[in-house]
Amino acid sequence: MPSTYTVGTLKNGVRAVAIPMEKRKSAAVGVWVSIGARHESPALGGVSHFLEHLVFKGTKKRTANNIKEAVEGVGGFLNAFTSEEATCFLAKASSKHFDVLLDVLSDMVLDASLHASDIEKERTVVLEEIKMTQDQPSQLADENLSEILWPQHSLGRPIAGTAESVKALTHANIKKYRDQFYSPPFITVAAAGDISQKDVLSGVKQRFARLSGPKSLRTTESFKPKGTKPVFRYFNKSTEQTHMALGFHAHHKGHPKSYMVDILSVILGGNMSSRLFDNVREKRGLCYEIGSYTRKYQETGAFVVDVGVDHAKAPEALSVILRELKKIAGKEPSKDELRRAKEYYLGQLELGLESSMEHMLWAGESLVSLGRCRTPKEIVAQVGKITMEDISLSAAEIFKDASLHLSVVGPLKGSVVRSLERNLTF
């Protein structure tokens, strides 16, 4: 793995980073646009995600089928995703087809046709995707959790928008959004695998150097927690399990303590050796699956615990989870437990970066969100400094009543709902 990442910048502001990987035969390419759901106004809710769909419908020189066949016809695959802070178009194939991948992705990003007829057809597809999320209780619980963690804020709104906002999007405002933000200051190209910085920069120059346009400003509303007590959201839905998502405000992407929270998450719910898995599933048999993870944005973040349980056992499961969180906030983990958590975290990082696609995503996301590429060596050094005291202090800082948010989805009796809300405290 490289100890440094070389970033090239074209005169118009488009950035390019290459990660040469020895003994690989593949190349993964991503064209990142640093615009996402959090930059949308309520009236344009879901426009970033909708636009992500539309660029696959055809360009000035390729039909929708041409786009898919160009990549899949050489044994590759392509996809895209929209997050709160970025949109990424990605593809992977044998490295001998690197030029094809970059040409197709750049064509999609720069010259998507955005025909009115395609917009109307794809609107139905996006609306079905929104319905699908509503039908999946675990996703619905997480979506509702975001809404209460970041109330009246763009981070709390669904990435795909709502049915109402998607129906209201017009050809004119979608095209204006694309022309405004799919522009040089917001574009980063990342590539990893059997490639060189020289080849990547040359390919990017060939396809992106012509791009120009006025410098646009994104609207980014900063978030500051204002809560003073726990927040509870219950959604009544006929399901086989009750799904709970428990969330706390945590550190942002660049915060010096963010890796402490990552290790805390591993200890509590990162794998089958974790405390929550052991105490909620193995010892008490309250669930099949439970886990924790972190979410990080520019100025805020979250620590989240997800679990699916039998309806009647939801209050007991919540009590056990809160007890485990309180326990680690009051008592340091053992030296061996911390060592295992660090080894797991760094081991998962190393395994992930063996993949050209994962390494491209790692470097691209880092460059887009932080303005630089973090190196594995940097992460190893930061994690190595974490002490047992750091873990318990981080837990005590995060796990407080004022930051406690619970989202529940299921067909619960009124007494069970009241019990959950009543016991939502440390």
Where residue 102 sits, what CATH number does that domain have? 3.30.830.10
Answer yes or no: do 244 and 385 share one domain. Answer: yes
Answer yes or no: do 184 and 36 share one domain. Answer: yes
Answer yes or no: do 247 and 382 share one domain. Answer: yes
Answer yes or no: do 41 and 173 share one domain. Answer: yes
Answer yes or no: do 67 and 195 share one domain. Answer: yes
Task: Tell me what pLDDT residue 214 has.
Answer: 62
- 186 Cβ neighbours under 8 A, 6+ residues apart: 33, 34, 35, 216, 218
Give the N- to C-terminal CA distance of the chain in Å, as an integer: 43
Distance from C-alpha of 180 to C-alpha of 213, rounded to nearest angstrom: 8
Amino acid at 101: L
On whether residue 226 sits in a domain, the answer given is: no
On whether residue 113 sits in a domain, the answer given is: yes
- 163 Cβ neighbours under 8 A, 6+ residues apart: 127, 130
On whether residue 79 sits in a domain, the answer given is: yes
Longest dimension (CA), the chain: 65
Read off φ and ψ for residue 405, nearest 5 degrees.
-130, 130
Range of the domain at 42: 7-208
* Tokens encoding 156: 């709390």
Q: Show the low-confidence residues of the chain (pLDDT under 70).
A: 1-3, 213-215
Answer yes or no: do 184 and 317 share one domain. Answer: no
Answer yes or no: do 243 and 204 share one domain. Answer: no
Helices (H) and strands (E) in the chain, counts: 16, 11
Indicate the number of domains in the chain: 2
Q: In what side-by-side order are the strands of the sheet with 301-309?
A: 231-236, 405-410, 242-250, 301-309, 287-296
Distance from C-alpha of 294 to C-alpha of 297, rounded to nearest angstrom: 10
Task: Tell me what pLDDT residue 238 has.
Answer: 96
Task: Tell me what pLDDT residue 1 has.
Answer: 61
Amino acid at 341: A
On whether residue 214 sits in a domain, the answer given is: no
Rounded to two decimals, the pTM is: 0.94
On whether residue 220 sits in a domain, the answer given is: no
Among the listed residues 311, 319, 338, 317, the one whose alpha carbon sits nearest the alpha carbon of residue 394: 338
On whether residue 217 sits in a domain, the answer given is: no
Among the listed residues 12, 95, 91, 98, the one whose alpha carbon sits nearest the alpha carbon of residue 55: 91
- SS3 of 144, please? helix
On whether residue 248 sits in a domain, the answer given is: yes
Answer yes or no: do 169 and 256 share one domain. Answer: no
Task: Tell me what pLDDT residue 125 has.
Answer: 97
Which residue matches tokens 């290790």?
Answer: 263
Answer yes or no: do 410 and 276 share one domain. Answer: yes
Domain boundary residue among 208, 223, 255? 208
On whether residue 219 sits in a domain, the answer given is: no
* pLDDT, tens only, 28-80: 999 999 999 999 999 999 999 999 999 999 999 999 999 999 999 999 999 99
Amino acid at 148: I
Distance from C-alpha of 377 to C-alpha of 191, rounded to nearest angstrom: 20
- SS3 of 185, please? helix
Answer yes or no: do 191 and 306 share one domain. Answer: no
Answer yes or no: do 141 and 258 share one domain. Answer: no
Using CA atoms, how far residue 179 sits from 57, 62, 215, in Å, is 17, 19, 11
316 CB burial (10 A radius; 0-12, 13-18, 19+): middle
Answer yes or no: do 244 and 195 share one domain. Answer: no
Please check whether residue 326 is in contact with residue 399, taking contact to mean a CB–CB distance below 8 angstroms.
yes
Task: For helices 258-269 and 335-352, give the axis angle rounded to 10 degrees.
Answer: 100
